[in-house]
Amino acid sequence: MAPYFQVTQILLSLFLMVLILVQARGGGLTPSQDQSGIFRTRRGIERTLFNATLGIATLWVLVSIATVIVAEPGF
């Protein structure tokens, strides 16, 4: 069962890296705006990507914990 968790963890980590790289600061999917540090809200696809990143990161942590629990004794 542990190999399935490990493969899932690898796939989730790759997907998480892609999501994070798509959200590069100042290079988002919205047109160029003033990036002077003024707070602004996320909208549209940017908000969806942010929420997906949080969800995938949470899922990755849970799979990581499950991998440790399921691992063979002697760890």
Residue pLDDT, tens place only, 56-66: 999 999 999 99
Cα–Cα distance list, 23 to 8, 10, 46, 57, 71 (Å): 23, 20, 8, 14, 34
CB 6 within 8 A of CB 71: no
Helices marked H in 1-75: 2-22, 45-70
pLDDT-derived band at 21, boundaries 50, 70, 90: very high
Instruction: Record the pTM.
Output: 0.72
Residue pLDDT, tens place only, 22-51: 987 655 555 555 555 666 677 888 889 999
